[in-house]
Amino acid sequence: MKGVVYTETLIHSAPEAFVGEAPYQLIIVSLEDGTRVTARVEGDLRVAIDDRVVLAEHRNGVPFFRKD
């Protein structure tokens, strides 16, 4: 699954269950089929709007993308 970063943010202040993971990047990806999906970014590499990304894996039902 491939797409383009529609928007992103780096979260510093996390909800209780995610405090150990902060900071982490949350993104919305525009997929090739025209739909969008809320996702996370794999690893420490940051992405920006309009970057091309590809699905790396699903973790607990959450899609994780990396730079394509």
Q: Residue numbers of the site for other proteins (CB under 8 A)? A: 6-19, 21, 24, 26-28, 36-40, 49, 60-62
Least separation in angstroms between residue 68's CB and other proteins is: 19
Is the Cβ of residue 7 or residue 32 nearer to other proteins in the bound state?
7
Q: What element of type H or E holds 52?
A: strand 52-59
Least separation in angstroms between residue 50's CB and other proteins is: 8
Please answer whether residues 14 and 24 qualify as being in contact, where contact means their C-beta atoms are separated by less than 8 angstroms. Answer: yes
Is the Cβ of residue 49 or residue 54 nearer to other proteins in the bound state?
49
What's the CA gap between 31 and 50, in Å, rounded? 12
